[in-house]
């Protein structure tokens, strides 16, 4: 179930801005001037934050991508990218206010308000900024720009979002239009949890005009866009392609899917259209979304014309 919640994250952008901060970014350093404040949403900081704690793997990727990495002093246990992020045993799923406060942060960035951690940190006078799960690419761009404004890296944030937009546009344009939409099943776990077209993941596949076989399982939205399909309904939906976002967490592969009982009749299995993804890239809505778009584009090109 955690995989389903996580789903609801680019190399070009990272190379452009650098993971080492202002010195390595190749762009003019963004330094605060006297009296400058830093605002995003309802949060305003009177000084640029220099001790940021990130409790979100997506926010961590965004912060490093825009050149704010040197200001990040601690990240949660799931923030495994970039490799030099200061990873700790802090948790975004079960946040501990005292453990977070012990890092003496001047800003905490998180995705979910688990266990009412925002209010707990508020009582400790610790500023908090939320980057909730995106449902569209626009949400992602806005979060990157907000973090840029809040950390003193507005210019770098604009460069990252521009690089993402350009890269995604070029990738989508490179895929020939198809007479019949390609259908797909996006697997978050072998228990057959998936993501519908109303999620961020779904918005990526919609760029290519693809049909999501999971949509019918959450037609009324009561499952938040992350329904669990039955094996019978999946076989009946007969997707052209299967994308696996559970290769790391659950060791799923084209071989394990092909071996599943009753799946031999599915078009994706018969034609070998099963595509393993990097779990982290597939479940995060940060700068590496461009890599996910590229992976989907590569797959669509390989699907036989019907």
Common-topology check for domains 10-168 and 177-302: yes
Find the length of the chain.
306
Both tokens of residue 94? 């079960």
Both tokens of residue 241? 């392609």
The domain defined by 10-168 carries CATH number 3.40.50.300: no
Residue 234 and residue 88: Cα distance in Å, rounded?
Answer: 40
Torsion of CA 178, 184, 186, 191, to 10 degrees: -170
Return averaged pLDDT per consecutive 10 residues of the chain, 306 residues in all: 38 31 38 74 96 98 98 97 97 97 98 96 98 96 98 98 98 94 97 97 97 97 96 97 97 97 96 96 96 97 87
pLDDT of res. 36: 82
Torsion of CA 205, 209, 210, 213, to 10 degrees: 100
Domain residue ranges of the chain, discontinuous segments joined by +: 10-168, 177-302
- CA distances (Å), origin 285, targets 77, 100, 152, 208, 225: 18, 24, 22, 18, 15
Contact assessment for residue 112 and residue 57, using Cβ atoms and an 8 Å cutoff: no
pLDDT of res. 31: 56
Residue labelled with tokens 């009296």: 35
Beta bridge partners of 75: 54, 87
Contact assessment for residue 20 and residue 69, using Cβ atoms and an 8 Å cutoff: yes
pLDDT of res. 226: 97
pLDDT of res. 21: 35
pLDDT of res. 305: 81
State which CATH number among 3.65.10.10, 3.40.640.10, 3.40.50.1980, 3.10.20.30 fits the domain covering 177-302. 3.40.50.1980
pLDDT of res. 174: 97
Report helix, strand or coil for 129.
strand
Phi, psi of 119 (to 5 degrees): -65, -40
End-to-end CA distance of the chain: 35
Phi, psi of 108 (to 5 degrees): -120, 130
pLDDT digit string, tens, across residues 194-226: 999 999 999 999 999 999 999 999 999 999 999
Residue 84 and residue 146: Cα distance in Å, rounded?
Answer: 23
pLDDT of res. 266: 98
Q: Could you give the maximum distance between any two Cα atoms of the chain, in Å?
A: 67
């Amino acid at each position: 179930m955690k995989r389903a919640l996580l789903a609801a994250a680019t190399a070009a952008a990272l190379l452009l801005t650098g993971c080492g901060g202002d010195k390595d970014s190749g762009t003019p350093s963004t330094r605060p001037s006297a009296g400058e404040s830093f605002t995003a949403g309802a949060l305003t900081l009177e000084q640029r934050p220099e001790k940021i704690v990130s409790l979100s793997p997506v926010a961590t990727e965004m912060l490093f991508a825009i050149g704010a990495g040197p200001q990040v002093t601690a990240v949660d246990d799931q923030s495994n990218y970039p490799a030099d992020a200061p990873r700790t045993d802090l948790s975004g799923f079960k946040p501990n206010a005292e453990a977070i406060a012990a890092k003496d942060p001047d800003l905490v960035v998180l995705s979910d308000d688990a266990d009412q951690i925002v209010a707990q940190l508020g009582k400790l006078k610790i500023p908090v900024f939320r980057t909730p799960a995106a449902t569209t690419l626009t949400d992602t761009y806005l979060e990157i720009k907000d973090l840029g404004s809040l950390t003193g890296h507005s210019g770098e944030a604009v460069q990252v979002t521009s690089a993402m937009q350009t890269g995604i546009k070029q990738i989508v344009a490179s895929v020939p239009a198809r007479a019949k939409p390609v259908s797909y099943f996006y697997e978050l776990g072998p228990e057959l949890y998936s993501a519908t077209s109303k999620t961020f993941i779904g918005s990526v596949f919609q760029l290519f005009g693809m049909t999501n076989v999971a949509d019918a399982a959450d037609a009324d939205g009561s499952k938040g866009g992350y329904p669990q399909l039955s094996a019978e309904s999946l076989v009946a939906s007969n997707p052209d392609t299967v994308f696996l976002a559970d290769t790391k967490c659950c060791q799923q592969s084209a071989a394990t899917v092909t071996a599943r009982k009753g799946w031999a009749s599915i078009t994706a299995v018969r034609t070998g259209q099963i595509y393993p993804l990097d779990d982290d890239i597939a479940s995060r809505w940060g700068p590496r979304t461009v890599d996910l778009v590229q992976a989907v584009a590569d797959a669509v090109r390989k699907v036989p014309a019907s």
